[in-house]
Amino acid sequence: MDIINFVKQYIKNPRTVGAVAPSSEKLGYKMIEDIDFLNTSCIIEYGPGTGVFTEKILKEKKEDTVFIAIEYNRDFYKILKGKFEDEKNFILINDSAEKLRQYLDKYNICNVDYIVSGLPFASLPENISQNILSVTKEILKNKGEFITFQYTLLKMKLFRKYFCKINKKKVLLNLPPAYVLRCKN
Ligand SMILES: C[S@@+](CC[C@H](N)C(=O)[O-])C[C@H]1O[C@@H](n2cnc3c(N)ncnc32)[C@H](O)[C@@H]1O
């Protein structure tokens, strides 16, 4: 069960897992509801965990849209592989989101439309967060969006360093309630 796997992984790696349970279905829908799936050639997901957002993106995306999910935790990666490995144009990577640029080069992708993130910026080391946000800004298309969720607004200053426009909405049906942030260059 996803919840048991989550608790186990949180106990082993509290700072990188950053939550004791997967996101709720409601938060999953709120994360992806503004994506223009019809006009999207590439979507990236950081930190898919057990795949709450991944599943929804796979359901909505066009078959020819390339979707790359990058998960650092080996156990979560194996769970995701078991669930989604047969999906078309879906690439699952077991590595840190910091290394995204090298994978985009490998697959000849210059820039992307959306980056959906489940990363726990509140608990990740500051230098890792900065590296990830810097590569994120660099690879997003002009009208591209970085969509992330946070349990508090404590990291807004960090996001504002990289993105000019940030739209936020609160999702109460999640444990704990969360903010969905849509960030644009
Ligand atoms: C709060 S959990 C969110 C999981 C899932 N997206 C959800 O909402 O249920 C954070 C996830 O980010 C992953 N993670 C942490 N640091 C990472 C990094 N540098 N690169 C990729 N994934 C990372 C963790 O292993 C974990 O799966």
| pTM (whole model) above 0.95 | yes
Mean pLDDT of 97-123: 97
Query: Tokens 């790696």 label which residue?
Result: 13
Q: Which of 91, 115, 113 is nearest to 103 (CA)?
A: 91
Query: Tokens 């069960």 label which residue?
Result: 1
Question: Cβ neighbours of residue 90 under 8 Å, at least 6 residues apart?
Answer: 58, 67, 68, 69, 84
Token digits for 28?
Answer: 């999953």
Is 23's pLDDT higher than 90? yes
Is 158's pLDDT higher than 90? yes
Is 167's pLDDT higher than 90? yes
CA distance 114 to 12: 30
Q: 3-state class of 44 per DSSP?
A: strand
pLDDT digits over 39-64, tens only? 999 999 999 999 999 999 999 999 99
pLDDT score of 185: 87
Token digits for 40?
Answer: 């999207």
User: Which amino acids bring their CB within 6 angstroms of ligand 1?
Assistant: 16-19, 22-23, 46-49, 52-53, 70-73, 76, 96-98, 118-120, 124, 128
pLDDT score of 129: 98
pLDDT score of 90: 98
Mean pLDDT of 137-165: 96
Describe the strand order of the beta sheet including 178-184 as a list of residue ranges. Answer: 90-94, 66-71, 42-46, 112-117, 140-150, 178-184, 165-171
pLDDT score of 57: 98
Mean pLDDT of 21-25: 97
Mean pLDDT of 155-169: 97
Q: How far, in Å, from the CA of 142 to the mean position of ligand 1?
A: 26
CA distance 122 to 114: 21
**Can you name the CATH fold of 24-149+161-184?**
Rossmann fold (3.40.50)
Q: How far, in Å, from the CA of 48 to the mean position of ligand 1?
A: 6
Q: 3-state class of 110 per DSSP?
A: coil
Q: Which of 112, 111, 80, 113 is nearest to 95 (CA)?
A: 80
Query: Tokens 């700072």 label which residue?
Result: 15
Q: How far, in Å, from the CA of 154 to the mean position of ligand 1?
A: 18
Give the residue extent of every domain in the chain. 24-149+161-184
